[in-house]
Structure 1
Amino acid sequence: MARTALATITAAAALLVGLSCSSDQPRAGRAKPVAHTVQAPSKPYVVLLVMDEFPGDSLLDRRRRIDPVRYPNFAALAADGTWFRNAYSVYDSTTKALPLILDGVRPHPGSAADRRDHPHSIYDMFARHGYRIVDSEEATALCPPSLCRGGRTRRPAIIPNLLGGRPERFNRWVRSIEPGKPALWVKHLLLPHGPYQYLPSGARTRPGPGDLLHGMNTVPGFHDEFLTRHNEQRYLLQLGFTDRLLGRLVRRLKDQGIYDDTLIVATADHGIAFQVGVQTRRSVSQSNVEELTPVPLFVKRPGQRRGRISDAYARTLDVTPTIADVLGWKVGHPTDGHSAFGPITRRRHGVTLSTRDFSSVVRISGRRWEARRRAVVRRRLREFGSGDIGSLFTGIGPRRELIGRTAPAVGRASVRASLAQSDLFANVRRASGVVPTQVAGDLRGGGDGAKRDLAIAVNGRIEAVGRSFYLQDDPTEHFALMVPDSALREGRNRLELFEVVAGRLRRL
């Protein structure tokens, strides 16, 4: 068990470093397999970071690189490590997807996310080698109290952890990193998973975690095209904040003088599919495998300072065995995973995983999987751009040519708008940690089922466009748009919502 745990941590630490790729960018065509050439110290420090609900292809720019402008810390880390750009998850739900990272063993029906069903893990592997373990699990309980201070025997409830304290718990874990006795630091970070409330700066778009419109990012809203893109836009903004936290981790390692001596592995448990007209975005099927399975995987070995790219089909199941391989250890218990650097992984040419209920198996060839992933990336780049964050606000919604224009003085329409939490715009104070860039509310007086093109002006300038929508089983017409945080000034802000009809604006 201790051996498996160590392997997982090593792989995760390396992954984290790899995400910051800047000097060694992906080239056209398939990259050559990466050789495991760096000799690890006998007892290096190890960091394993597992993020949550994170499709790895979200990081890509138009050149299939990690976008160095939007995600500079992922790009910088990839420059020092190995980026497995075809890494994929073998399960779609956290309570089984995370334990398999920590022990390298396939999940089975009814298994619990705690020590009862995972008696051998990465934690045992490291304990066997005399390591101090600092563990921060948010949805599992695999490290026992005998090995980890504060260890649990039953997993914590996930929802409360999602609703509050995610950055604060991460920061506490980062502060625990310091030189001394060889140590393994493991962190499950519930980001960029929703609720989507963070901007890249770390500011929140609203005081609490609840959405401004109840149900807008759940099944009642999955049928609407514009609302789906709006929520994807919010996800990408929160991904920018995840990048910031990654930078905080790397900075801590460097400030403590142990970055070069640390094995860093960074990955995620599974992805999410931003598809329209579905009942779920989180249960894998043949129709969404290209979005739910790709995950980031970066491995930075101790002493490694040159980025590499591997096209091997590494799996989340391989994280612990990879860590063990890098350290020259044996996992210590039977695993279903193999080292990401090994020949078995290099020989894979497709993706295979069980559905959530274990009733069937999803299979897809590597060629088809990569082609479908490229199509998703092209669509995302077309709608949200790359590089400068400004293009994230100008690619969705109708009448995009209006963005940047001065708001005209026009008459009122018969429809009336009510703004959710309108008081937030009366006194914006960035020092409070809240910057209300999401503008949402209800429209009254329109026809049954009517939808309308909209534009929002902030302080006299049109900043975003969109389309109204309805939630299932709710007759109310709603709206929601994101504006750049640069559009808001300190203190009072003036917002104007317009309906756009045949190119003409009417104030709502």
Structure 2
Amino acid sequence: MSATKTPTRAMPVVSAKTPVVLLLFDEFAEGSLITEHNRIDRIRYPNFAALGASSTWYRNATTLYDITDWSVPAILSGQRRHPHQLPILSHHPNNLFTLLGRSYRIHSFEPVTRLCPANICPKSSPSFGTRLRRVLSDVKTTSLLRLPAWQGDWSNPRDEVAAFLRTIHPSRRPELYMLHVLLPHTPYRYLPSGRTYEHSRGARDYNAPYRSSTNSTLVDDVYQRYLLQLAYTDRVLGQIVRRLQSTGLWNRSLVIVTADEGISFQPGGHRRFVNPHNVADIAPVPLFVKRPWQRGGAVDDGSARSIDIVPTIADALGIKVPWHLDGESLFAGDRRVPSEIVVNGYFGTVAKATLAKIHAGQKAAIERSTRSFGSGADSVFARGAYRELLGKETADYPAWQGASIRAKIRRPSTTRFDPQSSFTPSRVMGTVSGVPTGDLPQLAVAVNGRIVAVTKSFRIGQATRFETVVPDSAFRAGSNAITIFAVRGGPGGRVALAKIASRR
């Protein structure tokens, strides 16, 4: 399933010396970057905001497909997919790597696809077996083929990014740096700092394969962890930009940042497989293009599709591409927004929507996010009616006398924290008992006496549960005290806290 040599079609000799950087993120809904004012959130995502201020943001960019092994080859070839094509070189011999391979040194990181020939990129992707398991895991065909489900992570993004950063250095020969990193893709386990927490599945029905629970509280739990991982994705972007700047490559490089497809968090809906109800979440993808020596940012609301990236690179480098392209250069002046946005789904679904419907769906998703998590970096750790408790000392509030509610903390398995470690005991999960019928208490989570998270409890069957994530900045070296409080009162009366569980 992989070719080892460059295809025989004659590829051009490129006279341009412009470094090219292509960063490809995964499962990234563009709307999650944006505030209700249709701007990039500078507080949560400062590096994406800085990128937008120094590049052109194609605000109406969309993908053509809802699955990685279709969308990534389209990005790297500039062509639509034909039936039965696999994400391998022999099925996509005309691609960005073969186009530039005669003239450029290629640094390629492909965790899922294998489009770069081995003689150009000998270590660009994992083994065939690993990639096959990832593809099968992504489309969930393991059950259809009666194969055992692959239970491992898709990759270790932190290590992949570190390896990619080591390849960036000045060179007399022009270079292409291509990183496809599985962020903010599941499993959700990263905090904005890059530390990881326990990412075992929580409540049994909220993470069914690619479908969200109908319980909005459970969906918010997943979305919270996505937002935290997206903040880590922003951190990764900042690391790459700073590396390019420190090596003197940033100003003279063509830099393109995008994602393969979006993701949806509608209660009861599919998260990845596109349909008319979630197309506004799946279709839009972030797309930023920084031209060499570009000064200042711009917003382009013209047509932009994932298949336009290779034509754009060829245009910037002055290359005539020796194969048919389905996309067009983003630098073309006559681009128009199509009457319909079309996304082809893995299971044969073709979802269509006008741009107005896409914008309306994005606006609705942003409003849901704001209702659940407010705005600002710390507000991601607060859900519900008591966000004002964040950062407060529990001793400042009166005790809720006579509360019958009790809780049991099931995660984290340890409260010990090592500042030198990449792990943090930030995932807090458990069960609640003694809850009056029809009542789902609001909860506050304190670490060492300070409230660092606010969350809602929820009911699964006969059990009442809670799940949240707390910031790693809350922990001190050694053992820590994690305490769960039930909250009552406000806004007309004073808030009172009932201590219902504690773990050291």
TM-score tier, shorter chain, comes to 0.7 to 0.9
Paired residue secondary structure (1:110): coil
Q: For the residues of structure 1 that align with 2:223 and 2:36, how far apart are their CA atoms?
A: 18
- In the alignment, which residue of structure 1 is the partner of 2:143? none
Kept after mapping to 2: 8 A contact 1:3/1:329:
no
Match of 2:474 among 459, 482, 487: 487
Of 90, 102, 116 in structure 2, the residue corresponding to residue 143 of structure 1 is 116
Q: Which residue of 2 aligns with 1:19?
A: none
Equivalent residue number for residue 397 of structure 1: 384
Q: Do 2:447 and 2:480's aligned partners in 1 also have CA atoms closer than 8 Å? A: yes
- Aligned residue number for residue 147 of structure 2: none
Structure 2 unaligned residues grouped into runs of 5+: 1-5, 138-150, 490-494
Query: Aligned letter for 2:133?
Result: A
AA in 2 matched with 1:73: N
For residues 113-155 of structure 1, give each alpha carbon's deviation from its aligned partner in whole angstroms, at most 9, with x where no partner exists.
1123212111111024x11111110110111212212256954
3-state SS in 2 of match to 1:105: coil
Residue-by-residue CA offset, 1:244-298 (whole Å, 9 max, x unaligned): 11111111111211212211111000111111122x2111111111111111101
Contact 1:232 1:274 in 2 (8 A): yes
Decide which of 367, 383, 388 is 2:372's aligned counterpart: 383
Alignment of 1:327-406 (within 5 A): 327-343=317-333, 345-359=335-349, 361-386=350-375, 388-394=376-382, 396-400=383-387, 402-403=389-390, 404=392, 406=394
CA pair 464-251 structure 1, distance change in 2 beyond 3 A: closer
| 1:136-184 Cα deviation digits (max 9, x unpaired) | 1011011121221225695453267745521111110121111221111
Q: How does 1:90-109 map to 2 (within 5 A)?
A: 90-109=64-83
* Contact persistence 1:74–1:243 (CA under 8 A): yes
Q: Sequence identity of aligned pairs in percent?
A: 39
Residue 414 of structure 1 and its aligned partner are, at CA, apart by 5.2
- Structure-2 change in CA distance of 1:161 and 1:112 (3 Å): farther
Q: Please report how far the alpha carbon of residue 105 of structure 1 lies from its aligned counterpart in structure 2 after TM superposition.
A: 1.5
Change (3 A) 1:294 1:411: same
Residue aligned with 1:499, SS: strand
Mapped to 2, the partners of 1:95 and 1:116 lie a distance apart of 14
2:47 is paired with a residue whose SS is: helix
Q: Distance in 2 between matches of 1:285 and 1:304?
A: 38
What SS does structure 2 have at the residue aligned with 1:420? strand
Question: Do the aligned residues in 2 keep the contact of 1:418 with 1:442 (CA within 8 Å)?
Answer: yes
What is the alpha-carbon distance in structure 1 between the residues aligned to residue 337 and residue 222 of structure 2? 37
Q: Match of 1:324, as an amino acid?
A: A
Separation of aligned partners in 2, 1:94 and 1:143: 16
Map 1:135-214; keep pairs closer than 5 Å: 135-151=108-124, 154=128, 155-158=131-134, 162-180=153-171, 181-206=173-198, 209-211=199-201
Contact 2:379/2:387 (<8 A) preserved: no
Q: Is the 8 A contact 1:213 1:441 kept in 2?
A: no
In structure 2, distance between residues paired with 1:187 and 1:139: 11
Cα pair distance change 1:492/1:347, threshold 3 Å: closer
Q: Do the aligned partners of residues 353 and 216 (structure 1) sit closer, same or farther apart at CA in structure 2, a change above 3 Å counting?
A: closer
Aligned-pair CA distance for 1:372: 2.5
Aligned to 1:464: 453
User: What is the aligned counterpart of 2:312 among 322, 325, 329?
Assistant: 322
Q: Which runs of 5+ in 1 are unaligned?
A: 8-39
Query: Could you tell me how far apart the structure 1 residues matched to 2:323 and 2:437 are?
Result: 62
Contact 1:267 1:298 in 2 (8 A): yes
1:111 maps to: 85
Mapped partners of 1:131, 1:377: distance in 2: 41
Describe the SS at the equivalent of 1:192. Answer: coil
Q: Which runs of structure 2 are paired with 1:255-334 in the superposition (5 Å)? A: 255-278=246-269, 280-334=270-324
Q: 1:374: Cα distance to partner? A: 2.1
Structure 1 residue identity aligned to 2:499: R
User: Which of residues 10, 16, 23 in structure 2 aligns to 1:49?
Assistant: 23
- State the alpha-carbon separation in 2 of the partners of residues 467 and 79 from structure 1: 37
> Do 1:205 and 1:436's aligned partners in 2 also have CA atoms closer than 8 Å?
yes
Q: Whole-Å Cα distance in 2 between the matches of residues 251 and 326 of structure 1? A: 23
**TM-score, normalization: structure 1?**
0.83
Per the TM alignment, residue 238 of structure 1 is displaced from its structure 2 partner at its CA by: 1.0
In structure 2, relative to structure 1, the CA distance for the partners of 1:348 and 1:163 (3 Å cut) is closer
Query: Which of 374, 396, 417 is 2:407 aligned to?
Result: 417
Instruction: Work out whether residues 412 and 427 of structure 2, in 8 Å CA contact, stay in contact via their aligned partners in 1.
Output: no
Indicate the SS of the match to 1:174: helix
Q: TM-score, normalised by structure 2?
A: 0.83
Question: Would you say the 8 A contact 1:415–1:443 is kept in 2?
Answer: yes
Asked if the contact 1:320–1:331 (Cα under 8 Å) also holds between the matched residues in 2, the reply is: no
For residue 297 of structure 2, what is the amino acid of its counterpart? G
Give the superposition deviation at 1:334. 1.2
* Partner in structure 2 of residue 131 of structure 1: 104
Counterpart check, 1:435 vs 2:411: no
Q: How many pairs were matched up?
A: 465
What is the alpha-carbon distance in structure 1 between the residues aligned to residue 402 and residue 445 of structure 2?
14
Q: 1:89, 1:127 → 2: CA distance?
A: 26
CA contact (8 A) 1:468 1:478 kept: yes
Alpha-carbon shift at residue 409 of structure 1 (Å): 4.1
The answer to whether the 8 A contact 2:342-2:352 is kept is: yes
SS in 2 for 1:187: strand
- The 3 A distance-change label for structure 1 pair 350 and 450 is same
CA distance in 1 between partners of 2:158 and 2:75 (Å):
22
Contact residue 82 and residue 310 of structure 1 kept, 8 A: yes
Higher relative contact order (CA 8 A, sep 6+): 1
What amino acid is aligned across from residue 488 of structure 1 in structure 2?
Answer: F
Q: Does structure 2 retain, via aligned residues, the 8 Å contact 1:52–1:269?
A: yes
Q: Distance in 1 between matches of 2:421 and 2:206?
A: 26
| Equivalent AA in structure 1 for residue 410 of structure 2 | A
| 3-state SS of paired residue (1:392) | helix
What is the root-mean-square deviation of aligned Cα atoms in Å? 3.0
Contact 2:107–2:124 (8 Å) recurs in 1? no
